[in-house]
Chains A and B, each alone.
Chain A
Amino acid sequence: MTVTHLKPARRGRRAIAITAIALGGLWAVAGPASLALAQSPKPNHHFLDWRPGTFNTKSSQGVVVEGVGSGACAYSFSSIEKATLRYVRAKKPVWTEFSPQSHCASIKSYKSMIHSLIRYVRSKAPTDAKNYWAGVMLDEEPNFGFSASSVISLNKYASAQTAVLPGVTFVSTEDATWSGGWTQRQYDSIVHGTIAAPQVYNSYMVRITNNSHVSENLVTVNPAMPHPFNSASYVLGKIKGSSDQGGFGGKSTTYWYNVWHSQ
């Protein structure tokens, strides 16, 4: 055998050469994007949005109570907290979402709402909340009327509120930006200390998400995004790092993404 007559150093070089050729061939055939890695582990569960007036426990998946602006806008704060409590008591993994907008409420008012919501849910269903209430999801975008520093302040407040709670309750930031909106550095600061739930609706958000310092993302996909970002499989295939691991009801092997829809 020719191989057995090669010196070890030459064999090592040959193996490296074979690997390089194979990788080059793969690159040439499948394209550079083929070497990008999708989320690992792949998410195997997802959250779905429901407005507060709709109660859905049929789905085996998780729920987001879509509160939108609240404050002076829809939906009423009391309907949001009641819907959250209902899902918690039904042992459904549930986020409570707000889309803070400057014409609906001030940052101070949103902080107050979050504080009240936490007190309400944790006092009414302490055990189930510990196991099933994922916490507060904040949808923040550059044209919602608040500066980056304002939403950072809100996120820090909310994170401090949930940090002292036992169980699965945290804060997630379902944020989106665009060229001319918040920069990479601002995005990183905004999501810092939260579970990032980026709305990946275009290639700019793919870059922002993949270049952020966050290694674990609760990726938000949306069938109402433009093609091809309206495909969950396409979006999830574009994002690196880990999917969000949930420990609802004591199960630690669930990995999540988030789906916007409107029902």
Chain B
Amino acid sequence: MDHAKSRKVWIALTAGAALIVVALLGASLAGNGARAGTANHPSANRAASTAHSLMSCGTWSEQGSAAATAVVSNRIIRDCVRVGTDWVLTTVGGAAGSADVAVLRCGGNAACAAGVRNPAAYAHWQWFQPAGVTGGATILGVNGTTLILDVGGQQMSFSLANDRFSAETEN
């Protein structure tokens, strides 16, 4: 009787351990799939791929990577996106008075616009700052080739067509 009882305990313990391992392995695989951008979360992937007409930045935009650091130095990348054939970066957390909007124009260079390879291989980043305004920049919206930004508490637009900031007014 004791033997049978102990055996049940042993089987229960072993089965429990196996279940934990299987569960964790499942979570592990799901996590790895997520990191690799596979279809473990179909609705999430669908949202990222079809709901947005703007193009996301490639691996070169990863904060701390050599490619990104070469562009932003110690600033924190807030946004990175391709609008038309222009790559746009905004940053926060830089030195007071630093420019926080960067644009790289690919023009007709399809490889540059594809963004798989670091676009800095094809063109230079240009930095912009509105006159008399300091503070980090955040993209609030994109309307065609016009960015709606917050710069240091001021909402303003930036035209990629003429590189000009304008004060945002009610419309």
Contact = CB atoms under 8 A, between A and B. Distances in A.
Q: Are A and B bound to each other?
A: yes
Given A15-B17, A231-B48, A234-B34, A226 B68 contact: yes
Helix, strand, loop or mixed for chain A's interface?
loop
B73 to A, nearest CB: 14
Contacts of A257: 44
A47 to B, nearest CB: 10
Interface string B25-36: 101111111110
Interface stretch (B103-111, B119-127, B131-139): B131-139
Contacts of A71: 170
A201 B7 contact: no
Nearest to B22: A22
A99 B81 contact: no
A262 B6 contact: no
A95 to B, nearest CB: 15
Contacts of A74: 148, 155, 168-171
Contacts of B48: 221, 223, 230-233, 259
A155 to B, nearest CB: 18
B57 interface: yes
A179 B92 CA distance: 10
A35 B81 contact: no
B62 A226 contact: yes
B97 interface: no
B37 A261 contact: no
Contacts of B138: 141, 143-144, 176
Contact of B136 (A69, A104, A143, A224): A143
Interface in A73-118: 73-76, 99, 101-104
A76 B171 contact: yes
Contact of B17 (A19, A36, A66, A203): A19
Given A74-B171, A143-B153, A226-B68, A68 B58 contact: no
A48 interface: yes
Interface string B75-105: 0111111000000000011000000000000
A56 to B, nearest CB: 11
A119 to B, nearest CB: 21
Contacts of B80: 224-227, 230
24 contacts: A4-B3, A15-B14, A15-B17, A26-B24, A42-B41, A46-B43, A48-B47, A68-B148, A69-B140, A71-B170, A74-B170, A101-B154, A103-B154, A104-B155, A179-B76, A181-B93, A221-B47, A223-B52, A224-B79, A226-B68, A228-B59, A230-B57, A237-B35, A261-B54
